[in-house]
């Protein structure tokens, strides 16, 4: 009996290992070219760092791209490129890839200088307008649908904030959390305010 149990457990271990490798292969085959093998992203391709994002948030965003919530009429835009990249992938494969991405070790990419920004003002405005949802250290809150912002660079964060503020993102009727952010994005109308806040967020991961 003990011998049988040992063999059964050994077989299960092999299956689990094979599943893990299979999932890893999905991320490597369909995500790594843009987001990097370590998930740290690629600014030149407008591909964000995934390693600080939660699995529920990433699954929701993949669904948004897949179902058209985050698509753009501009075929050259980052959102249109992402939507096209996963268009032919089925939900099972995407779930495997996202699950593997969620297991990546958090990476803090090398940053450029933030000296041009006013981090003191950015901190004050972040605390006033962002911290209640995204957390005091910008690590996010899945219960509120608020993603982690740490690990993301200024340019990406500014682009997403402006997309929410302009209605380019968060306007779909099925995107409950996106609609919430679109309403709140009106809080920082000034470009300098937005950049200072996002620079402060980036500084949290340095």
Tokens of 103: 């297991």
DSSP codes, 101-164: HHTSPP--------TTS-HHHHHHHHHHHTHHHH-TTS--BGGGTBPP-TT--HHHHHHHHHHH
CATH of 119-203, one of 1.10.760.10, 3.40.50.1010, 3.40.50.740, 3.40.50.720: 1.10.760.10
Q: What is the pLDDT of residue 2?
A: 43
For 136-145, which contacts have Cβ atoms below 8 Å and span 24 or more sequence positions?
A: 137/204, 138/201, 138/204, 139/52, 140/52, 140/53, 140/54, 140/57, 142/54, 142/56, 142/57, 145/57, 145/60, 145/176, 145/177, 145/180
pLDDT, position 206: 64
- Three-state SS across 14-70? HHHHHHHHHHHHHHHHHCHHHHCCCCCCEHHHCECCCCCCCHHHHHHHHHHHHHCCC
The residue extents of the domains of the chain are 2-102, 119-203
pLDDT of residue 149 exceeding 80 = yes
DSSP annotation of 83: H
Average pLDDT over residues 35-39: 95
For residues 108-116, give the mean pLDDT.
82
pLDDT at 147: 98
Q: Which residue has the higher pLDDT, 131 or 24?
A: 131
Residue 24 is predicted with a pLDDT of: 72
Could you give the CA distance from residue 170 to residue 182 in angstroms, rounded to a whole number?
Answer: 6
DSSP state of 170: S
Question: What is the average per-residue pLDDT within 100-127?
Answer: 92
Q: What is the pLDDT of residue 186?
A: 93
Q: The tokens 């699954």 sit on which residue?
A: 59
Paired residues of 141 in beta bridges: 146
pLDDT at 100: 96
* 15 band by pLDDT with thresholds 50, 70 and 90: very low
CATH of 2-102, one of 3.30.70, 1.10.540, 3.30.420, 1.10.760: 1.10.760
Reported confidence tier of residue 6, pLDDT bands at 50, 70, 90: very low
* pLDDT per residue as tens digits for the range 47-99: 999 999 999 999 999 999 999 888 787 888 999 999 999 999 999 999 999 99
Percent of the chain past pLDDT 70, that is, above it, reads 88
More confident residue, 3 or 33: 33
Question: Longest C-alpha distance within the chain, in Å?
Answer: 71
**Binning pLDDT at 50, 70 and 90, where does residue 110 land?**
confident
- Given this chain, do its domains 2-102 and 119-203 carry the same CATH topology? yes
Closest-CA residue to 185 (of 165, 201, 171): 165
Contact of 174 with 69, CB cutoff 8 Å: yes
Instruction: Place 108 in a pLDDT band, splitting at 50, 70 and 90.
Output: confident
């Amino acid at each position: 009996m003990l011998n049988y149990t040992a063999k059964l457990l050994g077989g299960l271990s092999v299956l689990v290992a094979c599943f893990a490798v299979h999932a890893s292969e999905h991320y490597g085959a369909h995500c790594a070219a843009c987001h990097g093998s370590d998930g740290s992203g690629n600014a030149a391709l407008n591909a964000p760092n995934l390693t600080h994002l939660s699995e529920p948030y990433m699954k929701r965003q993949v669904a948004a791209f897949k179902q058209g919530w985050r698509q753009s009429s501009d075929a050259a835009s980052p959102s249109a490129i992402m939507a096209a990249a996963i268009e032919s992938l089925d939900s099972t494969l995407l779930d495997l890839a996202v699950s593997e991405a969620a297991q990546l070790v958090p990476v803090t990419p090398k940053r450029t200088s933030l000296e041009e920004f006013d981090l003191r003002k950015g901190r004050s405005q972040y605390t006033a307008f962002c911290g209640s949802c995204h957390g005091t250290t910008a690590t996010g809150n899945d219960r509120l649908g608020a993603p982690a912002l740490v690990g993301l660079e200024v340019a990406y964060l500014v682009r997403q904030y402006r997309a929410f503020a302009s209605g380019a993102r968060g306007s779909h009727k099925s995107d409950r959390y996106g609609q919430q952010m679109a309403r709140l994005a009106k809080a920082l109308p000034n470009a300098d305010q937005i950049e200072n806040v996002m620079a402060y967020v980036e500084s949290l991961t340095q």
